[in-house]
């Protein structure tokens, strides 16, 4: 069975508690439950949430040894700042899908640029929880090489 690594970046552990008008009412646990349900029978999911850039870089860097076939990542604030996460994705030969709950292009100017977009296969932005589901479906295709 193919393996997909889902990475949630900083502060996404706070989902459901604050700013529901921007990020929706679902908690991170609820998002993970939904993804687990969608994935079952198709792929194995490994899920990581971290507030630390280095942890995310490490997880991406060891993805090939861990047998990961595709990555779904919401880099959260690191989307706009992290050369380290960008370089980690570029360094590993693992197809990566970037997802965002909110539409980053409808928000403040500093959110309009993603460091990650140019090394991701594609990006899903603005569909709330559904961004993750759509991103996961794309990653399943990429993992299966279809
Ligand atoms: O829309 C997204 O998914 C973002 O990646 C979320 C990030 C933001 O910095 C990006 O520009 C877009 C923020 C995640 C923080 O999540 C919170 C959740 C609840 C309360 C406060 C922050």
CATH code at position 57: 3.40.50.9100
- What's the structural domain count of the chain? 1
Residue 146 pLDDT more than 70? Answer: no
Q: How many CB atoms lie within 10 A of CB 87?
A: 14
**Catalytic residue check, 112:** no
Q: By CB neighbour count within 10 A (0-12 exposed, 13-18 middle, 19+ buried), where does 56 fall?
A: buried
**Catalytic residue check, 100:** yes
- Residue 88 CA to ligand 1 center (angstroms) comes to 21
Is the whole-model pTM more than 0.95?
yes
Per-residue pLDDT tens for 126-141? 999 999 999 999 999 9
């Amino acid at each position: 069975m193919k393996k997909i690594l889902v990475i949630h970046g900083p502060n996404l552990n706070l989902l459901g508690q604050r700013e529901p008008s921007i990020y929706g009412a679902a908690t991170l646990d609820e998002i993970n439950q939904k993804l687990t349900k969608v994935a079952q029978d198709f792929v194995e999911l490994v899920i990581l949430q971290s507030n630390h850039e280095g942890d995310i870089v490490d997880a991406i860097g060891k993805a090939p040894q861990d047998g990961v076939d595709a990555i779904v990542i919401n880099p959260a604030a690191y989307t706009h700042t992290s050369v380290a996460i960008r370089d980690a994705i570029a360094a590993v030969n693992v197809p990566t899908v970037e997802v965002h709950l909110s539409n980053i292009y409808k928000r403040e100017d500093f959110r309009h640029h993603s460091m990650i977009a140019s090394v991701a296969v594609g990006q899903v932005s603005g569909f709330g929880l559904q961004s993750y589901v759509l991103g996961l479906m794309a990653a399943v295709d990429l993992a299966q090489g279809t």
